[in-house]
Structure 1
Amino acid sequence: MDFRNNFSKRSEKMKASEIRELLKLLNRPSVISFAGGIPDPALFPAEALAHAGEAALSGPTAATALQYSVSEGYLPLREWIVGHMARLGVSCDVSNVLITSGSQQALDYLGKLFLSPEDTALVQWPTYLGALGAFNAYEPRFDRLQPGDNRTAKDIAADAEQAGSRVKLSYVTPEFANPTGITLSRAERLAVLEQARALDAMVIEDAAYEGLRYDGSPVPPILALEQETIADMNACRTLYCGTFSKTLSPGLRVGWVVGAQDVIDQLVLIKQAADLHTSTLNQILVTEVVAQGFADHLEQLTTAYGARRDEMLTALAREMPDGVSWSHPEGGMFIWLTLPDQIDGAELLQYALDTYHIAFVPGQAFFADGSGANTLRLSFSCASAEQTQTGIHRLGQAIRHFL
């Protein structure tokens, strides 16, 4: 039987994640990998999670931890998130919070809720590959979201209309974006919001790396900026997606969405039909750990990752040939390289793997239109100082081979 004959039309849009495939290289000890944007497991709060797990499964919460739960999420965790959002300048209550299985699930649900076939999604160019994958299943048309360019909202709407489409959402990672590491200024965030208002579109604010700032001054979330003019959370068009994957543990799969209650109510219905609720035990573990020294844990992370970023930036300045440029992120996990036009990142990867045993992510996969062949993404989150120095030296040698 050819099972493909029975696949839905939308399945044709689904592609294997290049990053997921490259993560398999981590099992090859000979490879120095700058590919996966994953946290360092040595920095997981394993001891705190173990104590929280023992308490959750040995006391009166054991029945709750192992039982079905409400789709909205564990109430004490949602209450903590309300306080966390207040510290970021966002006023909301628990009715505005949905717990998801990582923020990746939130992106999938938001795509399902807002995108019909041929609707337009505005995304940064390049943008997070996982967002493209999540939205692709709902068959949208993609267009550029570039604050500060010369295209007006009227121009964007006209282009969409000419394609038989309507702009439904703007997806943006304001802090330390994956893959570029770039942070949007306050003015650029306000421009994203104003453009969405003019288009009557939603704003999906992906804040996966918000807690990982190493220098520079924090900028308010887009949702906080919107609330400066629209105090009522339930009248705001911005949907804030957060996660504990980058700060506590990705294996727990706990994220959240904050937004207007009408939107949250619809997302709850989607979650009920998909997986009923996020793991109750995992939500309890997260709640206990963040309630006891989360700020100290974040300080440990930012100290470690900030030093690794600095190590890679120093190595790049020393090893890269003329014609190569790169971003200088204030936080997050990534540095973005732009190569001379004649170098293809995918070809460079194959050569670098075979000859120098180093890995990275070619940049083309992050562009909705398949452009950007002469770019690549480096992750510094899991590399030691020695690995960074050796790996970046080898990368420089590999690039010179193509010049």
Structure 2
Amino acid sequence: MQWEQVLAPRMGRMKASEIRELLKLLDQPDIISFAGGIPDPALFPVAAFQDALGAALAPGKADAALQYSVSEGYLPLRQWLAEHMTGLGIPCGVDNILITSGSQQALDYLGKMMIGAGDTVLVNAPTYMGALGAFNAYEPVYDRLDPRENRGAAEYSAKAVDAGGTVKFAYLSVDFANPTGETIARAEREKVLDLADALGAAIVEDAAYQALRFDGEAVPPILALEIARKGSIEECRTIYCGSFSKTLAPGLRVGWVCAASPVIGRLVLMKQAADLHSSTLNQMAIAEVAARHFESHVAGLRTVYKARRDHMLAALSREMPSGVSWTRPEGGMFVWITLPEGMDGAELLARSLETERVAFVPGRAFFADGSGGNTIRLSFSRADQAAIDEGIRRLGALIAREIG
């Protein structure tokens, strides 16, 4: 069978995730990995999930846990999320919540819902590579979004028309972004709202790391700012994507979308066509653990990850040669490194794995236009202090040798 002749053209835009490939290195005991932006499994609330799963499978509940269910999601979990979102300044009801199989599924659905071939999606540079992977299949054109610039709606719109479409939405990872660790300031969020209103475009707000703030003042979600302007979530163009992957357990694959009910209604149709509904058993377990333990568990995560972030920043200050700079995130899991001009992160990774046995993610994959070759992403979420000290020492020495 010559499979190439039956594949759709969109398959040419789909590429393997560099992170997923690098995660295979975690099984090699001599590798110090700063690659995967994944939670530390030692911090999973295992006992709480054992209790929750046992309760879900108890007589009287097991039939519902193991049966088909509604596409919108498990009602008690949606009720908890509506209260949670209201606490973030986003008053809403269960009709504004859809449960997805991780927020990655939400990004895929949103791309499918809004992007036509040649339409423009506005993204930061760099941006989350998983979002680019989700959107690429729908054949968008990307334009760079930087709220600090003074580009107006007319310029974005004209460029989109020249590319053969219109601006459909702006995608932003807003708090402690993957990959940079940076947070979009309130004034910049307001500016994105102004731009989207002028363009008639949607906003996709990726809030996967929102709960992992270590220090500094919390910034209201874009959706909260829009509700404050317009009075109701039903009048808003912002679509909020949340996830339990970074807070409770990624393996259960439970995320959510919070948006105006007409958006949720269309996404439900996609859910029905794709997988009917997310795992009911997993949703029941998440609902139980979230209701009983979310705040206390996340507080513990913040304490551990903050200490690791501080340790990595100190190690970078101590070990990195002149000409290397990095971000100083207020939360999340990532530090973004900018190498001297002309140094290539992918080539550096190859040499690092061969000689230093230190893994990280090259930065180019996070740029829609393939730029950013002299950048890399480090994650501190799984590395203890000894690994951070030794890994950054080795990496700093390698970069110093490359600079010469």
TM-score, normalised on structure 1?
Answer: 0.99
Amino acid in structure 1 at the alignment position of 2:399:
I
Task: Give the secondary structure class of the aligned counterpart of 2:4.
Answer: helix
Task: Give the secondary structure class of the aligned counterpart of 1:172.
Answer: strand
- Aligned pair 1:98/2:98, yes or no? yes
Uncovered stretches (5+) of structure 2, i.e. residues with no partner = none
- Aligned pair 1:247/2:247, yes or no? yes
Uncovered stretches (5+) of structure 1, i.e. residues with no partner = none
Partner of 1:300: 300
Give me the whole-angstrom Cα distance separating, in 1, the residues matched to 2:20 and 2:353. Answer: 16
Give me the whole-angstrom Cα distance separating, in 1, the residues matched to 2:107 and 2:252. Answer: 17
- Aligned pair 1:146/2:146, yes or no? yes
Partner of 2:317: 317
Alignment of 1:267-346 (within 5 A): 267-346=267-346
Give me the whole-angstrom Cα distance separating, in 2, the residues matched to 1:163 and 1:342. Answer: 31
Partner of 2:167: 167
Partner of 1:375: 375
Task: Give the secondary structure class of the aligned counterpart of 1:143.
Answer: strand
Amino acid in structure 1 at the alignment position of 2:147:
P
Superposed CA offset, 1:140-172 (max 9, x none): 000011002021111111111122221000000
- TM-superposed deviation, 1:294: 1.3
Partner of 1:69: 69
Superposed CA offset, 1:238-282 (max 9, x none): 000000000001000000000011110000000000000000000
Amino acid in structure 1 at the alignment position of 2:345:
G
Task: Give the secondary structure class of the aligned counterpart of 1:205.
Answer: strand
Task: Give the secondary structure class of the aligned counterpart of 2:242.
Answer: strand
Partner of 1:204: 204
Q: Is residue 119–residue 163 contact of structure 2 (8 Å, CA) maintained in 1?
A: no
Give me the whole-angstrom Cα distance separating, in 2, the residues matched to 1:369 and 1:233. Answer: 34
Give me the whole-angstrom Cα distance separating, in 2, the residues matched to 1:363 and 1:152. Answer: 28
Partner of 1:385: 385
Superposed CA offset, 1:121-155 (max 9, x none): 00010000000000001000000110020211111
* RMSD, aligned α-carbons: 0.6
Give me the whole-angstrom Cα distance separating, in 1, the residues matched to 2:179 and 2:220. Answer: 21
Task: Give the secondary structure class of the aligned counterpart of 1:318.
Answer: helix
Superposed CA offset, 1:327-373 (max 9, x none): 00000000000000111000000000000000000000000000000
Task: Give the secondary structure class of the aligned counterpart of 2:205.
Answer: strand
Superposed CA offset, 1:34-60 (max 9, x none): 000000000000000001111110131
Amino acid in structure 2 at the alignment position of 1:205:
E
Give me the whole-angstrom Cα distance separating, in 2, the residues matched to 1:105 and 1:39. Answer: 19
**Mean Cα deviation higher: 333-342 or 144-153:** 144-153
Partner of 2:87: 87
Amino acid in structure 2 at the alignment position of 1:288:
E
Task: Give the secondary structure class of the aligned counterpart of 2:377.
Answer: strand
Amino acid in structure 1 at the alignment position of 2:377:
R
Superposed CA offset, 1:184-236 (max 9, x none): 11101001111111110000000000110000000100000000111121110
Give me the whole-angstrom Cα distance separating, in 1, the residues matched to 2:95 and 2:188. Answer: 29
Would you identify which runs of 4 or more consecutive aligned residues in structure 1 move more than 3 Å?
A: none
Partner of 1:134: 134
**Mean Cα deviation higher: 52-61 or 21-30:** 52-61
Partner of 2:60: 60
Give me the whole-angstrom Cα distance separating, in 2, the residues matched to 1:342 and 1:24. Answer: 28
Give me the whole-angstrom Cα distance separating, in 1, the residues matched to 2:322 and 2:386. Answer: 24
Give me the whole-angstrom Cα distance separating, in 2, the residues matched to 1:162 and 1:67. Answer: 50
Partner of 2:20: 20
Give me the whole-angstrom Cα distance separating, in 2, the residues matched to 1:234 and 1:150. Answer: 29
Amino acid in structure 1 at the alignment position of 2:341:
D
Give me the whole-angstrom Cα distance separating, in 2, the residues matched to 1:49 and 1:89. Answer: 29
Give me the whole-angstrom Cα distance separating, in 1, the residues matched to 2:13 and 2:236. Answer: 31
Indicate the percent of aligned positions where both proteins have the same amino acid: 61
Task: Give the secondary structure class of the aligned counterpart of 2:292.
Answer: coil
**Mean Cα deviation higher: 87-96 or 56-65:** 56-65
Superposed CA offset, 1:49-75 (max 9, x none): 001111110131111100000000000
Give me the whole-angstrom Cα distance separating, in 1, the residues matched to 2:291 and 2:362. Answer: 39
Give me the whole-angstrom Cα distance separating, in 2, the residues matched to 1:83 and 1:6. Answer: 47
Amino acid in structure 2 at the alignment position of 1:271:
K
Give me the whole-angstrom Cα distance separating, in 2, the residues matched to 1:160 and 1:253. Answer: 35
Give me the whole-angstrom Cα distance separating, in 2, the residues matched to 1:153 and 1:328. Answer: 31
Amino acid in structure 2 at the alignment position of 1:328:
R
- TM-superposed deviation, 1:15: 0.3
- TM-superposed deviation, 1:319: 0.3
- Aligned pair 1:194/2:232, yes or no? no
- TM-superposed deviation, 1:92: 0.7
Give me the whole-angstrom Cα distance separating, in 1, the residues matched to 2:347 and 2:304. Answer: 32
Partner of 2:120: 120
Give me the whole-angstrom Cα distance separating, in 2, the residues matched to 1:150 and 1:248. Answer: 39
**Mean Cα deviation higher: 371-380 or 151-160:** 151-160
- TM-superposed deviation, 1:293: 2.3
Task: Give the secondary structure class of the aligned counterpart of 2:230.
Answer: coil
Partner of 2:400: 400
